[in-house]
Amino acid sequence: MKYIILLGDGMADYPLPDKGGKTPLELSRTPHMDRLAQNGVLGLVRTIPEGMDPGSDVANMAVLGYDPRKYYSGRAPIEAASMGLQLAPEDVAFRCNLVALQDRHDGTYMHDYSAGHITSDESHEIIRNLKETFDSETICFYPGVSYRHVMVWRRGSSTLTTTPPHDISDKKIDAYLPYGQGAGVLLDIMQHSRRILPSLNVNQSRVRKGQEPANAIWLWGQGRALKLPSFAETYSLHGSVISAVDLVKGLGISAGLQAISVPGATGYLDTNYSGKVSAALKALEVVDFVYLHVEAPDEASHKGSLQEKIREKLHFSPVRIL
């Protein structure tokens, strides 16, 4: 028996009053998913345990078959696992977003949580600069994909509160800055980044091209090392995970799945959909299970872009190949 999970991250949504009470999914043309739904069983899965924050980290862990209430330790440790980072028991990983902040007459606002979906090549240049500035025996930055990166605080504090930047789009940042034990360390790094990032060549080039500059970093999603039991031992299945983002790759790797990288997979609207499907079909020739993740609906949701979210649904049609 072969199994595949095709996960449209962030695809669900609320009914829209100005669209006749329909959701973005109902407004989209999705004949192949409609056919699967008509021949399947709906409503049997709850992806967010009661009392936990709804997010891709918790939901994907649950869909993969692991109870987040038992195993979840934070978002950043999952992404660290994808990068091959070895966290000691006392280390704390943080997600490091490259963001665009905007100073207005009444304060500083989160203008863009992704710095205009900065490219990986551009962001890696910025992370190299951050490493030169901040890396020490206790702090180290690691490059990821696009705006998504990781900072590790050796022997750091995890008893503090942080906020996902995509939750505060176009809001003043003051009330959402890190607080709690050790927050001063994060605030110093975040504030210092605002002084050095705008002058980097990559950001000056983006400004000249009319693109958002990555003029600050935002640290959040902290946690200690993730430990999951083997997927093969738990479910007697050998499998693979296909995703453009370190979050889902890290979950798969932590569970012992093979992470397959697909050229041109970006985690956004311009991702290589057909390449991901082809990779899934090829993997199923040798394994029992494939977890195929599509991130773009989630990105469109965070941006609050109905047009992009519906457009994403139109691009999601490669499900017909399965």
Q: Give percent of the chain above pLDDT 70.
A: 97
Kindly indicate the confidence band of residue 319, based on its pLDDT and cuts at 50, 70 and 90. Answer: very low
What is the DSSP code (8-state) at residue 317? G
Kindly indicate the confidence band of residue 317, based on its pLDDT and cuts at 50, 70 and 90. Answer: very low
| Structure tokens, 148 | 């998504």
Average pLDDT over every residue of 69-86: 95
The pLDDT assigned to 310 comes to 84
Neighbour count for residue 181 (Cβ, 10 Å): 12
Bridging pattern class, strands 216-223 and 179-180: unpaired
Per-chain mean pLDDT for the chain: 92
Does residue 211 surpass a pLDDT of 60? yes
The pLDDT assigned to 299 comes to 86
Distance CA 269, CA 312 (A): 6
Strand partners, 223: 93
Helix residue spans in 11-147 (DSSP H) = 24-27, 31-38, 56-63, 68-71, 75-82, 120-134
Does residue 126 surpass a pLDDT of 80? yes
Q: Poorest-confidence range of 231-235, 253-257, 260-264, 267-271? A: 267-271
Give 12: exposed, middle or buried? Use CB within 10 Å, 0-12, 13-18, 19+. Answer: middle
Which residue ranges form the domains of the chain, and what is each CATH number? 3-70+227-321 (3.40.720.10), 82-223 (no CATH)
The residue among 232 and 12 whose pLDDT is bigger is 232
The pLDDT assigned to 307 comes to 86
The residue among 71 and 55 whose pLDDT is bigger is 71
Does residue 12 surpass a pLDDT of 80? yes
Question: In this structure, what are the phi and psi dihedrals at residue 217, rounded to the nearest 5 degrees?
Answer: -115, 155
What is the DSSP code (8-state) at residue 19? G
pTM, entire model: 0.85
Are 73 and 226 in contact by the 8 Å Cβ rule? The answer is yes
Residue 203's closest CA among 216, 214, 195, 192? 214
Instruction: Read off the pLDDT of residues 19-56 as tens digits, 9 standing for 90 and up.
Output: 999 999 899 888 988 898 898 887 888 899 999 988 89
The pLDDT assigned to 312 comes to 59
Question: In this structure, what are the phi and psi dihedrals at residue 92, rounded to the nearest 5 degrees?
Answer: -125, 125
